[in-house]
Homo-oligomer: A and B are copies of this chain.
Amino acid sequence: MKNIFVVGVGLIGGSFALDLKKIYPSSTIFGIDKNEAHLNEAILLRVIDEKAKLSDLDKADLVVVAIPVDAALKVLPSILNHVSDKTIVFDTGSTKEDICLKVKDHPKRRNYLAVHPIAGTEYSGPRAAIYGLYKSKTNIICEVEETAFKLQEKALKLFSELGMRIRYMNPKAHDKHIAYVSHLSHISSFMLSKTVINKEKNERDIFDLAGSGFESTVRLAKSSPAMWTPIFKQNKTNVIETLDEYIHNLQYFKKLMEDDDFKSVYKEMETTNYIKDILNGIQ
């Protein structure tokens, strides 16, 4: 790995840049970003070594694409146009069906690996980049069989050095499952914040009463709208399905309360407590 290119030098791309430099200390990390200020900041913070352009990609050994999923749909085909036969290109987006479909017939399809690292924080931009973000995290790879064997190997070696755990899925199943365990959590958190903020307009003291429980449920509402809007757009059908089920469950809980059926309210929570074991399984 001599020349590593990171397209999008924010939280995800920047964190890859930091760890990749550690793994391949003699490599040069090039940053590409439409936001010039982010590029300059990434250089200042030593997240990347140099700025670059798409036309420089012919010398790339590895390209990490870490931009919003709508931008990725537009940019990935031209990235593939620019790279050599030996370059491995992977994206990091939270939706996989549209992007796999987009490059399905691209002549350089076998240079591309569809990747979704389940990692992140609620922060964004180069300043949010941290070392070790990917350690012990799950990395979902879609349509692995569409990528050239030697380039698969190269990428898997890299993910293993980052300490990631690999899961293979088809893009359709990925988008459906991730709507439940990631996309829905973000909406529930945003709307919970909205509900409380709207209240606060008239009752300025309300947040003074908030504790760590409130804080953890609304943490994801700090996330970047520029990153999340295109995700919801691309995964619209699945996300609406999860929202329907979530709203239904909330309405049912409300109905139980209205009916004074607190035995069932207890049971609802008791059954759901099972999440403890599940979360222990995650860690």
Contact = CB atoms under 8 A, between A and B. Distances in A.
Interface of A: 118-120, 122, 137-138, 140, 167, 177-178, 180-182, 184-200, 203, 205-223, 225-226, 228-230, 232-233, 236, 239-240, 242-247, 249-251, 253-254, 257-258, 260, 262, 265-276, 278-279, 281-282
Contacts of A269: 190, 221, 223, 225, 228-229
A278 B185 contact: no
Contact of A265 (B180, B195, B232): B232
Contacts of A247: 247, 250-251, 254
Contact of A180 (B206, B228, B257, B274): B206
28 contacts: A118-B210, A118-B211, A120-B212, A167-B205, A177-B206, A182-B213, A185-B192, A185-B217, A188-B192, A188-B250, A197-B272, A199-B245, A207-B281, A215-B282, A216-B216, A216-B220, A217-B217, A218-B275, A222-B279, A225-B266, A225-B269, A225-B270, A225-B273, A228-B269, A230-B262, A232-B257, A233-B262, A236-B257
A253 B239 CA distance: 11
B181 A137 contact: no
Secondary structure dominating the interface of A: helix
Contacts of A193: 272, 275
A274 B282 CA distance: 31
Contacts of A208: 138, 167, 282
A260 B229 CA distance: 11
Contacts of A281: 207
Given A197-B278, A217-B220, A218-B279, 13 more contacts: A120-B212, A138-B209, A177-B209, A187-B253, A188-B250, A190-B268, A191-B249, A197-B275, A198-B249, A215-B282, A216-B217, A246-B250, A247-B250
A191 B250 contact: yes
